Amino acid sequence: MESIATARSKEDVALDLLKFIAAAAHVGSKAAGSTGFGAASSSKPDDQVSQLLELYGRCRQAVENPVGSTPLTK
């Protein structure tokens, strides 16, 4: 069983990954992403929050199941 410190560390890594991807892809921002990654941003705050929460879930999954580990499922 993982310790609380390990679980928190994974959450921190997932949050940092979310921040990096969201900034690079302009997820949750009013301007559309110019990188070609991610869908065009919606102007509704609820839609932006939903996009960020979905992205955070994907980041957590990636941190918990690194490449070469158990395959990711959708």
Q: How do residues 46-56 score in pLDDT, each as one tens digit?
A: 888 999 999 99
The Cα 74–Cα 57 span in angstroms is: 11
Q: Which of 31, 37, 41 lies closest to 58, judged by CA? A: 37
Would you say the pTM of this structure is higher than 0.85? Answer: no
C-alpha 36/C-alpha 51 separation (Å) is: 16
Q: What is the pLDDT of residues 33-73, one digit of tens each?
A: 455 555 555 558 888 899 999 999 999 999 998 887 655 55
Token pair 């065009």 is at which residue? 40
From the list 54, 24, 52, the residue with the least C-alpha distance to 37 is: 24
The domains of the chain are located at 4-64
- Alpha carbons within 13 A on the beta-carbon side of 7: 4
